[in-house]
Amino acid sequence: MPGNTFGQIFRLTTWGESHGIAIGGIVDGVPPGLPLTAECIQADLNRRKPGNHALTSLRLEKDEIEILSGVFEGKTLGTPIAFMVQNEGHHSNDYDGLKSVYRPGHGDYAYQQKYGHRDHRGGGRASARETIARVVGGAIGKVVLRSLFGEAVKVKAAIIQIGPHKITKMDWKEVNQNAFSCPDKDITQKWEQYLTHIKDQGKSAGAFIEVHATGFPAGLGEPVFDKLSADLAKGLMSINAVKAVEIGDGFACVEAQTSYDEMALENGSPDFKSNHAGGILAGISTGQPIVCRIAVKPTTSTLQPRQTITTNLKETTLSVTGRHDPCVAIRAIPIVEAMVSLVLTDHALRWRGQCGDFSGV
164-222 pLDDT tens trace: 999 999 999 999 999 999 999 999 999 999 999 998 888 899 999 999 999 999 999 99
Tell me which amino acid residue 91 is.
Answer: H
Q: How far apart are CA 190 and CA 203, in angstroms?
A: 17
Instruction: Check residue 310 and report its DSSP letter.
Output: B
Q: What b/e string do you get for 100-123 counting C-beta neighbours within 10 Å, with b at 16 or more?
A: ebbbebbbbeebeeeeeebbbbbb
pTM score, whole prediction: 0.92
What CATH number is attached to the domain comprising 220? 3.60.150.10
Residues of the domain holding 247: 5-355
The answer as to whether 361 is a domain residue is no
Q: What b/e string do you get for 320-329 counting C-beta neighbours within 10 Å, with b at 16 or more?
A: beebbbbbbb
Sign of the Cα torsion 303, 308, 311, 316 reads: positive
Bin 82: left if φ > 0, else alpha if -120 < ψ < 50, else beta.
beta
Q: What is the pLDDT of residues 55-114, one digit of tens each?
A: 665 556 688 999 999 999 999 999 999 999 998 866 556 666 778 888 888 888 888 888
The answer as to whether 360 is a domain residue is no
Tell me the sheet residues that pair with 13: 5, 26
How many structural domains comprise the chain? 1
